[in-house]
Structure 1
Amino acid sequence: NGNVPPAKKLWKSTFDKDISRSIRYFMRMTIHGGYKVGQYWDNIPSHEWKGKCCDTHESMDHILTKCTAAGQKEIWDLTSEMWRMKTGIEMRPTIGQIMAGGVTKVGNMGENRLYKILITESTHLIWKLRNERRIQHTGPHALEKIRNRWLKTINNRLVVDCAMTDGLKYGKKALKISLVKSTWKKTLKDERTLAKDWPKKVGVLVGVG
């Protein structure tokens, strides 16, 4: 549902090693309302405009699920496309589902892990694009660049997963090949032609787009 789970459960997810370190920080800041958005600016003379977006108060809900500027819709479209490849189900998360992305159980272990990766990586990218547009004043993002940024983000995460299967390098912290394979199953480019030990290979990419 769209409800935000208890803070204790959310806080626990910010220590989940399946979630990138920078995203865990972003999640902690979001949980504690640490970002200066929306009503924060209402009582600061000459800065009230910073709290507005799309003729409404900017909020995390607005930024991540409602903003009409290029970014959030396109990223969730790509995320949903990949999730359909995995499960046959659409992904159109509410703010509650986004906040709970690190602790939500949606199916088997591989599905749960990919869901966690997709929703947290996509959310963080939307936030970064917002900051570029609103703070760095880069202007609207081209749709093709948004797509390429998302693909790069998810493919980089796939590369990290594959690298982490190296038991000699990572020891007890290494990921099991079976876990990586179950996480990315049904989402890879030319998947039927991949070797059984594809996590040990170079150049494997997701099949979105």
Structure 2
Amino acid sequence: LPGAKLQAMTQATAYKIIRKLKMEKPTYRELLNRRATMENMTRAKAAAASDDGESPPARKIWRSTFDKDISRSIRFFLWMLIHDGYKVGKFWDNIPTCQQRGQCPRCGVHESMEHILTQCGEPGQKEVWDLASELWRMKTGNDLRPTIGQIMAGGVTKLVDPGTTRLHKILITESAHLIWRLRNERVIQQTGSAPLAEIRNRWLKTINNRLAIDCAMTDEFKYGKKALKISLVKRTWKKTLKDERTLARDWPKNIGVLVGVG
């Protein structure tokens, strides 16, 4: 990467260079060894363990923060989540006049990322996972109620087939990130709790946008080797689409297909 010509550099290349340089800094390597990071990594590895109890190596968890099936902004979210890098909860305890920021006003407990993403009683957390679970039941017949460890390991968990694994990855990471955004709007921007109808509509828009991106990415003429295989897109979204039985066999070529929730 050193010596790359500026005029020939794409945004993706520049991003990789900046991230590589950042990761080579001693402060970054020290961050990897923080106690909170190590504890979160242990939780993520345990959540991603195979049926025989074997946990994936830490490097596999870290590689998932580069997973192309996960939106770039969400990759950074997962990276920060594992590092316990967000300023919530106990972060505020020793800052004069700011201690109240560490409390969840609805639940009366210390905020943590685990509380925000899987436990909080404010509108958003439960409603988003209810919607994700509804779609997951359409796909597999099972509920989807991830732990914080499963969210951290969202890009690693392997299921029965590549399509199911991929949808699991998309549902968990997109849903968790939406819950985080809703919390920030409520707490930081002080917009108040979002109406339930808005939460539902935003989740549907989020997942349908991912479906639309998948469809668009099957264009081999436009994306070449980076194009998604139509077969993978079909396996990913099988059993989850609106009016699925009436869709053409090559439906991924037609942007406008929607999930069947709602």
Bin for the TM-score computed over the shorter chain: over 0.9
Indicate if the aligned counterparts of 2:91 and 2:102 stay in contact, CA closer than 8 A.
yes
Matched, 1:21 2:75: no
Give the TM-score normalised by the residue count of structure 2.
Answer: 0.78
The amino acid that maps onto 2:73 is S
The CA distance in 2 between the partners of 1:30 and 1:90, in whole Å, is 24
Q: Distance in 2 between matches of 1:109 and 1:203?
A: 23
Q: Which of 51, 57, 64 is the equivalent residue of 2:110?
A: 57
Choose the corresponding residue for 1:78, options 131, 141, 148: 131
Q: Is the 8 A contact 2:216 2:255 kept in 1?
A: no
Equivalent position of 1:185 in the other structure: 238
Partner of residue 93, structure 2: 42
Query: Residue 248 of structure 2: SS of its match in structure 1?
Result: coil
Q: Of 150, 154, 162, which aligns to 1:101?
A: 154
Match of 2:140 in 1: 87
Q: Distance in 1 between matches of 2:188 and 2:59?
A: 31
Aligned to 2:61: 10
* Residues 88, 102 of structure 2: 8 Å contact kept: yes
* CA–CA distance in structure 2, aligned partners of residues 110 and 7 of structure 1: 24
The percent identity for this pair of structures is: 73
Distance 1:9 1:131 in 2: 29
Q: For structure 1, which runs of at least 5 residues remain unmatched after alignment?
A: none
**Structure with greater contact order relative to length (CA < 8 Å, sep ≥ 6):** 1
What is the CA-CA distance between 1:8 and the residue it aligns to? 2.6
Q: Distance in 1 between matches of 2:225 and 2:44?
A: 34
Q: Give the match for residue 112 of structure 1.
A: 165
Corresponding position of 1:148: 201
Question: Which residue identity does 2:185 align to in structure 1?
Answer: E
Q: Cα distance, 1:182 vs. partner?
A: 0.3
- 1:33 alignment partner in structure 2: 84
Partner SS for 1:62: helix
- The letter for the 1-side match of 2:221 is L
- Residue identity matched to 1:82: L
Number of residue pairs matched by the alignment: 208
**1:200 paired to 2:240:** no
Name 2:13's counterpart in structure 1. none
TM norm structure 1: 0.97
Regions of 4+ moved over 6 Å: none
